[in-house]
Structure 1
Amino acid sequence: MNFEVWPEAVELGRLFAAQGYELALVGGPVRDMLLHRTSHDLDFCTSARPEQFEPILRRWGRDGFWDMGRKFGTLGAMRRRDDGTEVQVEVTTYRSDVYDPDSRKPEVNYGDSLEGDLSRRDFTVNAMALRVPELEFVDPFGGANDLAKGVLRTPVDPRQSFDDDPLRMMRAVRFVAQLGFRIEPATAEAISDMVERIGIVSAERVRDELTKLLLSDRPRAGVEALVESGLADIVFPEIPALQLEIDEHHRHKDVFEHTMIVLDRAVALETGPDGPVPAPDLTLRLAAIMHDIGKPKTRRFEPGGKVSFHHHDAVGAKLTRKRLRALHFDHHIVDDVSELVNLHLRFHGYVDEPWTDSAVRRYVKDAGHLYERLNRLTRADATTQNRRKAMVFSSAMDEMEQRVRDLKEKEDFEAIRPDVDGNEIMELLGIEPGPMVGRAYRHMLEYRLDHGPVDHDVAVAELMRWYGSLED
């Protein structure tokens, strides 16, 4: 088997061999090497203990060294190449972990062989190694064969593997999304039978796996695998809840299938690195899978056989906030995704009757920094099979976006403020700080949105008119 191996890996292998220690490249870098994918982060395991190989790693890593993983037998280092790219390496002593059944944190025991270390890894495609500097390929569990077939299988009995570390079940569905692989039947069955074990895994670790899944090239495949496995029932129950029973007259779409289509379409609408929504965009992708999660709670069968989902946008926004907080997402993500869900139906009124300039300003003002994402979510959500309706909707969105561009040439949407500020309001009205100042400010903001920028004298006259009307 021919390999194009990182020269840094060979050099490090020679340094370890000179001291009588074994060193092997392991895990993802070996898998990616066989898939002809690039990697700048290299993982190694070694027969040496951390205190033995620390001097070697410090000498090699002239541009950086870290030891946060020392208690797990792991040290890291970094080197910059002449072209400015960085190569980061982490080296771990051979491991033979023992897991507490009530925790996913292993008790670290050092092992004495490479094969033993590989046996404790999550999947066979990650249980391959390349000894350096001799470049001997080590594959005791048939990982290369599984890689060629696109199969995810555990090196040991899957029930033992997932019992030892339940997070591996989440990693399985994540690899479906990242690598396009399928989960081998016995492994899939074990996941389905053991989904409750995911409950001992911290919300942060689950969130990190979900994030990697959604930012992959195939997020839809990952979400579908998450639901099919039963894991979503535990970690993200709002998603499988979208699999509503379709009424006998098919008066509404399969909401889960619709959501998967919206996810695909939203991904396709992301832009290049210089565009307004660079791919991959976690906020947009989360909003796509959550935009309709309010539907199960709001579904009503109306007279005449129609089905309604009134206020599913507002209900969905609340459910979104609750779920993302439970998964410990950053508060900016929580706020932004919840607001996109809340606003995702906002544009639909424009199709029936084009808005005034005032309504366009309000749409842009309310969307704020989410404007570009909201438009993409709205476009992605228009999944009608009726070509005429689809063309009308797309044309209306094109028209609205052009009107926004035209208005922005005349005024600064990013800085829409009343034409009189709070201090001037107090001075003109002769009032002290308090609720009335806030009421006056809000009125003048509404006036600004309705009329656009006006002369200062006109704004002052409107303020005085409004205040006088309160006294009458």
Structure 2
Amino acid sequence: MTHLPFDLRPLEASPAGPILAFLATCEPSVALVGGCVRDLMLDRPTHDLDLTVERGGLDLARALANRFDGAFYAMDVERDTGRALLPMAGQEPLVVDVAAWRGASLAEDLHLRDFTINAMVVVLRQSGHEFVDPLDGVRDLKNGLIRTAAPSAFRDDPLRVLRAIRMLAELAPLGFRLEEGSERQAAQFAPLLVQVSIERVRDELARILAAASPGDWVAKLDDLSILDIVLPEATALHGVSQSPPHIWDVFDHTTHVINHAHDLVAWISGDDTALAVSSLPWVADSIEQTLGRWRAELAALLAQGAGAQLRTHGQMLAWAALSHDWGKPATARLDHDDEKPDRWRFFGHPDVGADMAYEALRRLRFNEAEARRVSLIVRHHMRPLLLAVTGLPSRRATHRFYRDLGDAGVDVALLSLADMQGTYGSTLTSDDWQPVLDTVASLLDSYFDARDQVIAPPALINGHELMAALDLPGGKHIGQLLEAIAEAQAGGDVKTREQALVLAGQLSAQQRAAALQG
């Protein structure tokens, strides 16, 4: 029997302890395997348990669900793989995945796994647990290497190409790197990703975008010719030049924006050190001082789900950062001027990019709400920057901003801060930055602190009353009149029902006159 190279007692003393005790009584023997063993050895928190058993994976998952009042799911009947979601006191449910051996023995099963550091197991027994490591995963773990378990690993399951980068993204802060031979194989077998279900590809990409410095890992995907297989819209940004103040081409600009957006969301969500990762020190200080008053409200909004799968607004903002300039290659135009340097223009790129983002996210099987939200953010991502040109936005402009965007307007405001930093890089000055930050602060102040005055003022009159008072027929023009009244309320120009009726009468007369002239 091989003694454990790590201490299992903290897990045994946790709310998952009774589950481990039960598993140790099972026949045939059950083993902890994969990421949970790896994370325990790295002293990282483990949020789920992966189990392997000689046979009866579905039966064991069902038995766990029954014994611990959880839920059972048949994940893959052909491979005898099931999942149990088990309630944990005061915590999220524990996810327990149970799979039958894929080979004739435990050793053969481990040789069929993805990476050596995921091919270590702890066989659970009442008489004493046993550690099994036929591929010397401990050595690779100590050396910080992500190495395939077999030469055929990527061919056997091409999704592992993406998983390798995702694991690298998650473990790089601990000093891990992709073993050279495995990296070459990842590039070699990347074209096989077209054989993988698009949902699995989406989920790995989402985890990569959720890791620290996600823009760097998007660049890594590109370096290994993986990105072009899964997101050709992103690789098309390469070599698309931009005029000053931009200091990078569109691709490199995008990777920086992704990083800044990630760090901003991480700071909002409670990581006090996040902004220091990618932002200039004085920029980080200005964000903390200006946005700090709404940090809790922003965190609550970003934690909301964008669809039935409950991927959060914060997670989807990463996709908006990734796709915000996808429209630039198709709209690039070099303007010549005899008296000024030539300039690259990208007229209409937000609209083109919004359509591309929507199509790409639907292709990746994001739901309609998620795809529409990202598309909306991309379509309007320039608005805070344009508003900042003329000073703080008026109450009317702010009302129109949120009328068009809803709560996605907050996402757009945050993205503009990442966009600015990804434009200027280290050349950013206070003169460039402060107007945009002030504009974002004004937009957030209206959303969180003056909603009833600016964004959704209480109705002074409804459609039926408007039709009766002005003898108007029904139709979409009634909604237009009500919106005009709301905008005038936001601007402080209409405060009473009588003033609302006067404005509606004037606008209605203008509509009739325009119709007669037409």
Normalised-by-shorter TM-score class? 0.7 to 0.9
Distance (Å, rounded) in 1 between the aligned partners of 2:482 and 2:231: 42
261-270 vs 251-260, greater mean Cα deviation: 251-260
**Could you tell me how far 1:419 is from its partner in structure 2?**
3.6
State how 1:73-84 maps to structure 2 within 5 Å. Answer: 73-77=80-84, 80=87
Work out whether residues 26 and 130 of structure 1, in 8 Å CA contact, stay in contact via their aligned partners in 2. Answer: yes
Residues 245 and 78 of structure 1: CA distance in aligned 2, closer, same or farther (over 3 Å): closer
**Could you tell me how far 1:92 is from its partner in structure 2?**
2.4
SS of match in other structure, 1:328: coil
Distance (Å, rounded) in 2 between the aligned partners of 1:251 and 1:83: 48
Distance (Å, rounded) in 2 between the aligned partners of 1:299 and 1:193: 33
SS of match in other structure, 1:15: coil
1:465 has 2:506 as partner: yes
1:161 is matched with which residue?
A: 153
2:8 is matched with which residue?
A: 4
Work out whether residues 242 and 296 of structure 1, in 8 Å CA contact, stay in contact via their aligned partners in 2. Answer: yes
2:469 is matched with which residue?
A: 428
1:149 is matched with which residue?
A: 143
Work out whether residues 351 and 393 of structure 1, in 8 Å CA contact, stay in contact via their aligned partners in 2. Answer: no
SS of match in other structure, 1:131: strand
Aligned residue among 95, 102, 107 for 1:95: 102
Aligned residue among 43, 54, 61 for 2:50: 43
Residues 118 and 401 of structure 1: CA distance in aligned 2, closer, same or farther (over 3 Å): same
1:276 has 2:298 as partner: yes
1:371 is matched with which residue?
A: 409
Distance (Å, rounded) in 1 between the aligned partners of 2:478 and 2:143: 69
Aligned residue among 248, 254, 262 for 2:249: 254
Work out whether residues 360 and 404 of structure 1, in 8 Å CA contact, stay in contact via their aligned partners in 2. Answer: no
Task: State the one-letter code of the partner of 1:94.
Answer: W
Task: State the one-letter code of the partner of 2:41.
Answer: L
Residues 116 and 367 of structure 1: CA distance in aligned 2, closer, same or farther (over 3 Å): same
Aligned residue among 25, 31, 44 for 1:15: 25
Task: State the one-letter code of the partner of 1:440.
Answer: L
Aligned residue among 357, 360, 375 for 2:398: 360
Question: Normalization by structure 2: what TM-score?
Answer: 0.78
The sequence identity of aligned pairs, in percent, is 28
SS of match in other structure, 1:145: helix
Q: Deviations over 1:306-336 (max 9, x none)?
A: 2222221121111111111111112221111
Residues 390 and 294 of structure 1: CA distance in aligned 2, closer, same or farther (over 3 Å): farther
State how 1:62-73 maps to structure 2 within 5 Å. Answer: 62-64=68-70, 66-69=72-75, 70-73=77-80
Aligned residue among 119, 123, 126 for 2:115: 123
Residues 409 and 449 of structure 1: CA distance in aligned 2, closer, same or farther (over 3 Å): closer
Cα-Cα RMSD: 3.0
Task: State the one-letter code of the partner of 1:169.
Answer: V
State how 1:318-337 maps to structure 2 within 5 Å. Answer: 318-337=355-374
Residues 434 and 368 of structure 1: CA distance in aligned 2, closer, same or farther (over 3 Å): closer
Residues 367 and 435 of structure 1: CA distance in aligned 2, closer, same or farther (over 3 Å): closer
SS of match in other structure, 1:91: strand
2:342 is matched with which residue?
A: 305
In structure 2, runs of 5+ residues without a counterpart are: 271-295, 304-311, 514-518
Find runs of 4+ consecutive structure 1 residues off by over 6 angstroms. Answer: 82-85, 247-251
Residues 452 and 141 of structure 1: CA distance in aligned 2, closer, same or farther (over 3 Å): farther
**Could you tell me how far 1:248 is from its partner in structure 2?**
11
Work out whether residues 300 and 309 of structure 1, in 8 Å CA contact, stay in contact via their aligned partners in 2. Answer: yes
Task: State the one-letter code of the partner of 1:276.
Answer: L
1:398 has 2:438 as partner: yes
**Could you tell me how far 1:247 is from its partner in structure 2?**
8.0
Distance (Å, rounded) in 1 between the aligned partners of 2:383 and 2:237: 21
1:290 has 2:323 as partner: yes
Task: State the one-letter code of the partner of 2:108.
Answer: G
Work out whether residues 429 and 464 of structure 1, in 8 Å CA contact, stay in contact via their aligned partners in 2. Answer: yes
SS of match in other structure, 1:140: coil
State how 1:165-176 maps to structure 2 within 5 Å. Answer: 165-176=157-168
Distance (Å, rounded) in 2 between the aligned partners of 1:249 and 1:356: 28
Task: State the one-letter code of the partner of 2:231.
Answer: F
1:101 is matched with which residue?
A: none
Residues 185 and 345 of structure 1: CA distance in aligned 2, closer, same or farther (over 3 Å): same
Distance (Å, rounded) in 2 between the aligned partners of 1:390 and 1:232: 35
Distance (Å, rounded) in 1 between the aligned partners of 2:460 and 2:99: 63
225-234 vs 365-374, greater mean Cα deviation: 365-374
SS of match in other structure, 1:242: coil
Question: Normalization by structure 1: what TM-score?
Answer: 0.85
Residues 306 and 36 of structure 1: CA distance in aligned 2, closer, same or farther (over 3 Å): same
Aligned residue among 15, 26, 36 for 2:33: 26
Residues 462 and 176 of structure 1: CA distance in aligned 2, closer, same or farther (over 3 Å): same
Distance (Å, rounded) in 2 between the aligned partners of 1:53 and 1:297: 54
Work out whether residues 360 and 400 of structure 1, in 8 Å CA contact, stay in contact via their aligned partners in 2. Answer: no
Work out whether residues 358 and 452 of structure 1, in 8 Å CA contact, stay in contact via their aligned partners in 2. Answer: no
1:224 has 2:219 as partner: yes
Aligned residue among 164, 186, 192 for 2:181: 186
Q: Deviations over 1:184-205 (max 9, x none)?
A: 2222222222222111112211
Distance (Å, rounded) in 2 between the aligned partners of 1:431 and 1:162: 68
Work out whether residues 70 and 84 of structure 2, in 8 Å CA contact, stay in contact via their aligned partners in 1. Answer: yes
